[in-house]
Amino acid sequence: MPDPGRGSGSQTGSGFPLGSGSPLAPGPEAAVWLATTPDGTELFLREWAPAPAATPRGSILLVHGLGEHSGRYRRLAGFLTEAGYRVRAYDHAGFGRSGGARGHIRRPLSLVDDLATVFEDFDAVVRGEDAAAPPPLVLGHSMGGCVVARALSGGRLHPTAAVLASPAVGQRAAGMQNAALRMAEFLPARLTAPNGLPKSALSHDPAVAAAMREDPFCHDRISAALAHFVFDEGERAVADAGRVPCPVLLLIASADRVIDPAGERRLAAALPAATTRVEEFPGAYHELFNEAEPTRAFALDALRGWLEGLK
């Protein structure tokens, strides 16, 4: 379903000041709006309310991956709202409907800064409505998992718990289509190149790749600065993983050809053992929550069980 266009709908509770554009009208699946970061970059945000029949369980912030946008998480958001969660998501700067040069980052840690800003705002909104509410959880996929892992290990984020789904951390010679990304590292910082990620390797369901190819809000650009972030900060996330302050569910796709699962296994070994749960799915491709059945059901069952076990 395409995103709604600009309209006269009202903002839905963000503490960000609105940018110069009008808010975006609520759509049938989520309320959507534009917000502005402290450095003036406009971010596109979405929020899904808990299902009316569900017992409220808390809130979750979704953080998307390379070349995509938050709208690709509607189905996962539906699963989480049925479980009683309030779900917020945003498009990274340079992706989807957010501002910024496509596939580029403004500063070495601007993705981490943006995540911290969005998370803190979401936390303030949730606590403003219920002072006893716990901080939101955070779920990051692929590059979004790298951003979340770096924010956690660097002390920038203090969620109730975190889910890292196929996080692009600890990437070395294999995986991440390194030929394309390593080439991007040697380009001038703002110059972008195709990211080389194979859409056919996202899922065993061919409809997933087809939908991404047709999605006007997806792109294949990556700058040298962003390539450096993936490799350098993803490695630091592994090195500092012992500092992660919250429970973590790490989901690994064993047959991933988009990133190298070896990096995720190194992360698994470095995270605090007492608060980390690792689930690896044999034969699975990169997008576990978009995989063909029954793998998708197994991944969602693992997520459900872990969420239900949180104190």
Instruction: Please check whether residue 134 is in contact with residue 86, taking contact to mean a CB–CB distance below 8 angstroms.
Output: no
Question: What does the alpha-carbon distance between residue 92 and residue 96 come to, in Å, rounded to a whole number?
Answer: 7
Instruction: Please check whether residue 90 is in contact with residue 60, taking contact to mean a CB–CB distance below 8 angstroms.
Output: no
Q: Which two tokens stand for residue 94?
A: 């340079």
Q: Which two tokens stand for residue 40?
A: 């003036």
Question: What does the alpha-carbon distance between residue 301 and residue 95 come to, in Å, rounded to a whole number?
Answer: 30
Tokens 């903002």 belong to 11
Please calculate the CA angle 26-31-36 and round it to the nearest 5 degrees.
105
Q: Is 141 a catalytic residue?
A: no
Catalytic residue among 59, 70, 142, 223: 142
DSSP 59: E
Question: What does the alpha-carbon distance between residue 153 and residue 245 come to, in Å, rounded to a whole number?
Answer: 8
Helix (H, G, I), strand (E, B) or coil at 304: helix
Catalytic residue among 92, 104, 204, 286: 286
Q: Which two tokens stand for residue 106?
A: 């403004």
Alpha helices in 48-129 (DSSP H): 74-82, 110-129
Element (H, E) at 193: strand 192-194
Catalytic residue among 3, 91, 220, 256: 256
Complete DSSP assignment for 199-218: GGGS-SSHHHHHHHHH-TT-
Question: What does the alpha-carbon distance between residue 23 and residue 8 come to, in Å, rounded to a whole number?
Answer: 7
**Residue (of 52, 42, 6, 43) closest to 27 by Cα position:** 6
Q: Is 92 a catalytic residue?
A: no
Q: Which two tokens stand for residue 102?
A: 């496509």
Q: Is 204 a catalytic residue?
A: no
Q: How many residues are present in the chain?
A: 311
Residues labelled catalytic: 142, 256, 286
